[in-house]
Copies of this chain bind each other. A is one copy, B any other.
Amino acid sequence: MDGTRDIEALIDLMARLPGLGPRSARRAVLHLIKKRDSRLLPLAQLMDEVGRTIRTCLNCANLSTGDICPICLSEKRANGQICVVEDVADLWAMERAQVFQGRYHVLGGTLSPLDDIGPDDLHIPKLRDRIAAENVREVILALNATVDGQTTAHYVAQELAPTGVGLSGLAQGMPVGGELDYLDDGTLRAALSSRKPY
């Protein structure tokens, strides 16, 4: 690879992406070089564009091209519900499923003493402000069903209790299409204890 230091540097950067290693980074870079005009140059331009224009919504911490993201700006989504998620990826998952018509609040992580992430590192004060400012009736804590996620949900619920806002969390139970035989014990226990009358 003499004399092609840029290629090596490119492979090195690509190999640090989650889901890629050195071998797949090499394959991806060769693929890009072979399709220079249709893939490599457009990708370079888009990355530059995104890097220069995308920032964090000052209201909900979603990604946005403006100070305030389109979801926060949309009057249609001011239905008094805020869905609290850990990360932008979770917001995207909710939007893909098209199951929620309210607004979001991205915490930016979960409480994690081991990683030195405390309440001050999450966007919780802003959430408290929004409950009054946006006339919010219900806050849905849509955090991951992990120990960190549930600990954080518990903490956020405690913090918001004085505001008197309605609080809820996502249901735990069998995934749609799930088979009893393949469920882990924790899920089975949750599904049983939250059983619903017919």
| Interface set of A (CB-CB < 8 Å, partner B) | 1-4, 6-7, 9-10, 13-14, 16-20, 24, 26-33, 36, 39-54, 63-66, 69-71, 74, 87-89, 92, 95
Specify how many copies of this chain sit in the oligomer: 2
Contact B20–A19 (Cβ < 8 Å): yes
Contact A7–B41 (Cβ < 8 Å): no
Known: A2-B71, A63-B7. A40 touches B31 (CB 8 A): no
CB distance from A85 to the nearest CB of B (A): 13
CB distance from A141 to the nearest CB of B (A): 21
Q: Which residues of B contact A18 (CB under 8 A)?
A: 24, 27-28, 31
Contact B43–A14 (Cβ < 8 Å): yes
Q: Which of A41, A46, A95 has the most CB of B within 10 A?
A: A46
Contact B46–A48 (Cβ < 8 Å): no
Question: Quick one: closest B residue to A89, CB to CB?
Answer: B30
Contact B88–A3 (Cβ < 8 Å): no
Known: A65-B3, A89-B26. A40 touches B51 (CB 8 A): yes
Contact A19–B30 (Cβ < 8 Å): no
Contact B26–A70 (Cβ < 8 Å): no
The CA of A115 and the CA of B51, in the complex, are separated in Å by 39
CB distance from A35 to the nearest CB of B (A): 9
Contact A1–B32 (Cβ < 8 Å): no
Q: Which residues of B contact A7 (CB under 8 A)?
A: 50, 54, 63
CB distance from A158 to the nearest CB of B (A): 28
Known: A13-B39, A32-B47, A46-B13. A69 touches B3 (CB 8 A): yes
